[in-house]
Amino acid sequence: MNPGDIITILIMSLMAMVPIVLTSVGAAWSERAGVVSIGYEGVLLMSAFFGAIFAELARNALVGLIGGIIVGLLLGMLHGVLTVYLKGDHVIPGIGINLLAMGVVPFGILAYWGTAGQHQLPHDAIMWHWRTPYGEISPMIIVTVVIAVVTWWVLFKTPLGLRVRACGENPEAADALGINVEKYRFWSTVYGHALAGLGGAYMSVDWLGLVHKTMSGGRGFIALANMVFSGWNPLISLIGGWLFGFFEALATWLAPKHIIPGQFILMLPYIMTLIIVAGIIGKARPPKWDGKPYKRE
């Protein structure tokens, strides 16, 4: 491995971290407010698909990213209505969203583009990248870092964040002090899903430039694991997400060299992220009312 390779891997890792970090940060915010969702996998996949359609129609990647956010927003609203206002279970809607995505996307690719399983986006629908000798760099990397830092700051330093956390820890206390728990929870859920939507669209219209029927590849779940091991902290999620990206990049770099069997290489990012993040953070405590509907007596 020469220095050039190392820089290449680092750049690839930054590109790969974006969807994980965005989803982890969004999920952390949502769960801090007390709403659990396991539907991020489906959100990533669907917003990758619809984001690509938006981008192609407008011939503009930015529109694709916004389209992804809108898909996340709508799915977040669906989840929010079911869990926050109708006091439903927090896990079931996520299963629904994931299964929906597994059906909609492969069918949609075939129906819309007429190709089975995969579609390559035209150049004018893909985000501008800074091309370096060691690989391409997307402006979304900076956006992601900014979102993680700002989300952390708002969550821990502002009245808004204090109230959101109070809703996840003890909604009764928040309610008694005049905080509209349902409103805070609902919009937190929407925010969480919207970030995942941005992450999904990034995958298709920015990072890879293609839509594939399984392109989310478990990132929605890894993001949740990353969120837990990061102690529901957006800043640490950023590091955890980058670690995943790093090992994913390393795996991609290692694969053609045939040093280790390919299956093990593919496992690498998942296993290493879990081991390292879990090892550093250790036991984290979830928000006390995480995943529990709040209903006034």
The contact set with other proteins (CB under 8 A) reads 154, 157-160, 162-163, 165-166, 169-170, 172-179, 285, 288, 296-297
Q: What six digits make up the tokens of 87?
A: 């006091």
Do 135 and 16 form a contact (C-beta atoms < 8 A)? no
Q: What minimum distance in Å lies between the beta carbon of 231 and other proteins?
A: 11
Shorter beta-carbon distance to other proteins: residue 59 or 288 = 288
Say if residue 88 is exposed, middle or buried (CB neighbours under 10 Å; 0-12, 13-18, 19+). Answer: middle
Q: What minimum distance in Å lies between the beta carbon of 21 and other proteins?
A: 22
Shorter beta-carbon distance to other proteins: residue 112 or 156 = 156
Shorter beta-carbon distance to other proteins: residue 79 or 163 = 163
Shorter beta-carbon distance to other proteins: residue 245 or 293 = 293
Shorter beta-carbon distance to other proteins: residue 35 or 71 = 35
CA distances from 288 to 26, 171, 198, 276 (A): 18, 10, 28, 25
Q: What minimum distance in Å lies between the beta carbon of 115 and other proteins?
A: 45
How far is 5 from 294, CA to CA, in rounded Å? 52
Q: Provide DSSP, 109-174.
A: HHHHH--SSEEEPPGGGS---EEETTEEE-THHHHHHHHHHHHHHHHHHSHHHHHHHHHHH-HHHH
